Amino acid sequence: MLSIVLLIVFIIVGELITGNGERNKQNMTEYEELMGLGETQAHVPGPVEVFKLAIKELSHPFYDNGPNDKGIGTQLFYSILRVMAGYLLSVLIAIPIGFLTGMSPLFYKALQPYIQILKPISPLAWMPLALFVIKDSILSSIFVIFICSIWPMLINTAFGVMSVKKDFLNVGRTLEIGNFKMAFSIILPAALPTIFTGLRISMGISWLVIVAAEMLVGGTGIGYYVWNEWNNLDLASVVFSIIMIGVVGMFLDSMISFISKYFNYQE
Amino acid sequence: MIDHFLKVKNISKSYPSKDGKSFVTIYENVNFSIEKGEFICLIGHSGCGKSTILNNLAGLDAVSGGNIKMLNKEVDKPSLDRGVIFQNHSILPWLSVIKNVTMAIACKFKSMNKEDIESRAIYFLKMVNLEGHLHKKPSELSGGMKQRVGIARAFAIEPSLLLMDEPFGALDALTRGKLQDKLVEICDKTKQTTFMITHDIDEAILLSDKILLMSDGP
């Protein structure tokens, strides 16, 4: 309820403080009109303008009028596809490695300095190297997603496995469960909630990074779209795509938390 | 020499102190034996090493000196012959009540088929009056019920020796009384050899055939 009130207040205030970019055309000389000054000026769009654009864009989300004019749906689709590819790749690598790391304290200590150094590197810093080595802009952006989402997963998986309660392990030991079965029937389910926390953080970071990565590599995707509309000085589209980025990010996050509900347990 | 069911001979436990130069001894020269069908209670102050002795008996924790022999076999690792009921019940929270028990049964009786495992689990859960809660998750159960699942799980694998670490410590007096009665009833029925740790003297007198007293460490 309160959210709706806040939204209404926000829209009204937004409408009041933003202009519509119209100029006074009456007092213009012929020269000024010829110079295009009669056109609407670039301005920060108000909520109503953005809303109108949103309806127009969302009613045809997948149109394609050449490389510089694609529908918002197409752009988002490309971005999501890249995020998914990089993300799934890092799931496949981070979870098994994190698992083994968590099982062996020695391995954990040995990997720790490398993880600590690699983790704070901005994923975009990898971009030039990726572009040079991979020589393909799309694969490079997937690689960037991969490298940024792997660390939270790896650390959380290792931490989750390490902090499995000793009691649960003792239950397994008194039942003479083998190592392999122990890993899958006791350690994995016990660590899953922590692993999912890592998966969620990674998804958030991936979605943050894809926008920046696509601004760099260009071509397609929501990041490219934002930058392209900035170059067109179409600020209504920029605001609209900012909102869409937020909506999709929320959707991706709630998707992971929805899946994780099935694996969470309460003590 | 007579062969005891379980013989504890001169065991001691020590661990290196923080600076690593000397050893802190928790207990030493512990000797006792358990016969088949006996119910033994171990009483002592908190922190005197009772739980450590139980872990030694379970094979979860190695002794520093001396040895433990069960049926003339050295106890050096956990075994399905020794069921353990842990202090904090230690039920796996992601499995339902019945799955917790069937998992244990499946580990012990590897050739048993699914239906038999399930009916065996139900039999033992009935024994502790949990037949109405088979498919609940442990988080939906009260502390006493969880402890009863732990008891059912331990009995279901028919261990030769049952080890209990303050099984009723965290329960209120009423629930504890009920569970004690239940335990006496089950143990009488099954002639279970049991070793139990408690700090409650009344409980020890009520349940056991023999009480071992443990004094504070050196």
B135-159 average pLDDT score: 89
Asked if A169 and B74 count as a contact pair (C-beta separation under 8 A), the reply is no
Return the structure tokens found at A177: 């469960």
Q: B72-97: per-residue pLDDT in tens?
A: 888 888 888 888 998 887 899 999 99
B106 to chain A, any CB pair closer than 8 A? The answer is no
Distance in angstroms (rounded) separating the CA atoms of residues A118 and A230? 33
In the block, which residue shows the tokens 């130069």? B21
The structure tokens listed for A116 are 């600590």
Output the CA angle B141-B142-B145, nearest 5 degrees: 80
Chain A residue with minimum CA distance to B80: A175
> What gap in Å lies between CA A75 and CA A79, rounded to an integer?
6
CA distance A187 to A59: 48
pLDDT of residue A79: 94
Q: Scan residues 197-256 of A and list those with Cβ closer than 8 Å to B.
A: none
Tokens at B187, concatenated:
């143990």
The CA–CA distances, whole Å, from B8 to A112, A173, B69, B179, B209 equal 43, 22, 6, 29, 18
Cα distances (Å, whole numbers) of residue A262 to A255, B94, B192: 12, 10, 39
Task: Indicate whether A26 pLDDT > 70.
Answer: no
CA distance A175 to chain B (A): 5
| Binary contact (A189, B94; C-beta < 8 A) | yes
Q: Which of A171, A189, A192 sits opposite B90 (nearest CB)?
A: A171
pLDDT digits (tens, 9 = 90+) for B167-204: 887 778 888 888 888 888 888 888 889 999 988 888 88
Looking at residue A40, its pLDDT comes to 64
Residues of chain B positioned with their CB less than 8 A from the CB of A192: 94
What is residue B175's three-state secondary structure? helix
* Bridge partners (DSSP) listed for residue B24: B15
Provide the number of CB pairs (under 8 Å) joining chain A to chain B. 54
Cα–Cα distance between A101 and A51 in angstroms, integer?
A: 50
**Across the interface, which of A171, A173, A192 has its CB nearest the CB of B92?**
A171
Interface of A with B in 162-181 (CB under 8 A): 165, 167-168, 170-171, 173-177
Tokens of B109: 């009786």
Sign of CA dihedral B149, B151, B155, B160: positive
| Complex-level ipTM | 0.85
> How many CB atoms sit inside 10 A of residue A75's CB?
23
pLDDT tens for B115-146 read: 999 999 999 998 888 889 999 999 998 888 88
Which of B77, B90, B162 to substitute to test the interface with A, most A CBs within 10 Å? B90
Would you call A185 an interface residue with chain B, using a CB distance cutoff of 8 Å?
yes
Tokens of A99: 């698992």
Would you say residue B1 has pLDDT above 60? no
Q: Name the token pair of A193.
A: 């909630």
Q: Which among A170, A185, A265 has CB closest to B90?
A: A170
**How does the average pLDDT of chain B come out, rounded?**
87
- Percent with pLDDT over 90 in chain A: 50
| C-alpha to C-alpha distance for B157 and B135, rounded to whole angstroms | 20
Query: In which residue are the tokens 């030991």 written?
Result: A173
**Whether B90 contacts chain A with CB within 8 A:** yes
Beta strands in B61-201 (DSSP E): 65-70, 73-74, 82-85, 161-165, 193-198
Q: Do B80 and A190 touch (CB under 8 A)?
A: no
- Buried b or exposed e, range B14-45, using 16+ CB within 10 angstroms: beeeeeeeeeeebbbebebbbeeebbbbbbbe
pTM of the model: 0.84
